[in-house]
Amino acid sequence: MDIMNLEKVFQSKIDDEIKIEPKDWMPDTYRKTLIRQISQHAHSEIVGMLPEGNWITRAPSLRRKVALLAKIQDEAGHGLYLYSAAETLGISREQLLEELHTGKAKYSSIFNYPALSWADMGSVGWLVDGAAIMNQVMLCRTSYGPYSRAMVRICKEESFHHRQGFEILLTLSQGTEAQKKMAQESINRWWKPALMMFGPPDDQSSNTEMSMKWKIKRETNDELRQRFVDVAVEQVKFLNMTLPDIHWNEERGHYDFGKLDWDHFWQVVKGNGPCNKQRLDARKKAHEDGAWVREAAMAYAEKEKLSLENQSKSA
């Protein structure tokens, strides 16, 4: 089949909601877009463990510690599902990690902010995981089979993350004046960076048009951001707290959320956010410190292979 026909068959599969699988023909740019998005997503899960990891030793009770540990371990698992999904597109794990460590691959802007108080564990769960879920529910219907199946499993666990965050804030909201203040101050700090997680406005989003045509993305950055705002405004009422800069817009039938500083967003994406250096250094150190584990696993696998070969020879 010539390239024109291959493209036609590919697009008609997408239009008919038939998943694209690793061995199917796909345009090069579809493959590249998926590798970029899935690897960025995987790196976000892994780097996203760092701000919360900082609070495990300082969790205020055993129950909170166990829940936070479980959540962070889930994130590692999500990263591994996603790296495996990216590998089905023909890129190796080593290459994926190399691109993270050299700064070639991006990860979500949100993980370059510091977690300053215990209330931040609440805000991260409620707002950061909440924004992630809003985006990831649509990705369960993404056109690439391995990505879509990974997202179904990931979304189930994200719902638990979201609830544990909201519960932390709910408890603080019923506590002392100092606890209420800490919670409100944390919500104020995380709100706008969480809105920026959805990516640049649609008119500045270079990938959206093609990604929508290929059904990699099923909704645009602005559509998801607005839905998240409208839902969060209702949820914050249960905390008796407020979200900064929110106004009901009668004409649009949605809440306005004020101006977002996109120059600041691009600075963070380019590596100049408050914690970019710290996050990347921590990832590189973890990779170097883990070299012996990878070597031991390879040596063990080699030994097992040899012993299986010997067994089959002597049988």
What are the phi and psi torsion angles at 247 (to 5°)? Answer: -140, 135
What is the separation of C-alpha 45 from the centre of its chain, rounded to a whole number of angstroms?
5
Interface residue with ligand 3HC among 75, 87, 99, 219 (CB under 6 A) is: 75
The nearer residue to ligand 3HC, 20 or 180, going by C-beta atoms, is: 20
What are the phi and psi torsion angles at 199 (to 5°)? Answer: 95, 175
For position 269 contacting ligand 3HC by CB under 6 A, the verdict is yes
Minimum CB distance to ligand 3HC, residue 69 (Å): 14
For position 117 contacting ligand 3HC by CB under 6 A, the verdict is no
Place of tokens 């409620």: 126
Task: Strands of the chain (E only): list them.
Answer: 247-249, 254-256
State the Cα–Cα distance between residues 19 and 214, nearest whole angstrom. Answer: 11
For position 194 contacting ligand 3HC by CB under 6 A, the verdict is no
Which among 191, 201, 297, 169 is positioned nearest to 245, based on CA atoms? 191
For position 169 contacting ligand 3HC by CB under 6 A, the verdict is no
- From the list 9-17, 18-26, 43-51, 242-250, the region that binds ligand 3HC by CB under 6 A is 43-51
CA-based R_g, the chain, Å: 22
Contacts of 14 (CB under 8 A, 6+ apart): 20, 143, 213, 214, 215
State the Cα–Cα distance between residues 55 and 296, nearest whole angstrom. Answer: 30
For position 206 contacting ligand 3HC by CB under 6 A, the verdict is yes
Minimum CB distance to ligand 3HC, residue 289 (Å): 23
- From the list 6-14, 182-190, 202-210, 236-244, the region that binds ligand 3HC by CB under 6 A is 202-210
Mask for 208-227, x = binds ligand 3HC (CB under 6 A): x--x-----x---x------
Minimum CB distance to ligand 3HC, residue 232 (Å): 15
Interface residue with ligand 3HC among 39, 117, 123, 135 (CB under 6 A) is: 135
Q: What is the dihedral of CA 307, 83, 106, 28, to 10 degrees?
A: 110
**40, amino acid identity:** Q
DSSP 161-225: HHHHHHHHHHHHHTS-HHHHHHHHHHHHHHHHHHHHTT-S-GGG-SSHHHHHHTTSSSS-HHHHH
For position 205 contacting ligand 3HC by CB under 6 A, the verdict is yes
Q: Which two tokens stand for residue 232?
A: 């969060």
For position 45 contacting ligand 3HC by CB under 6 A, the verdict is yes
For position 109 contacting ligand 3HC by CB under 6 A, the verdict is yes
The nearer residue to ligand 3HC, 121 or 128, going by C-beta atoms, is: 128
Interface residue with ligand 3HC among 10, 14, 30, 41 (CB under 6 A) is: 41
For position 276 contacting ligand 3HC by CB under 6 A, the verdict is no
Cβ neighbours, 10 Å, residue 269: 18
The nearer residue to ligand 3HC, 9 or 76, going by C-beta atoms, is: 76
For position 14 contacting ligand 3HC by CB under 6 A, the verdict is no
Minimum CB distance to ligand 3HC, residue 298 (Å): 29
Residues that bind ligand 3HC (CB under 6 A): 36-37, 40-41, 44-45, 48, 75, 106, 108-109, 128-129, 132, 135, 196-200, 205-208, 211, 217, 221, 269
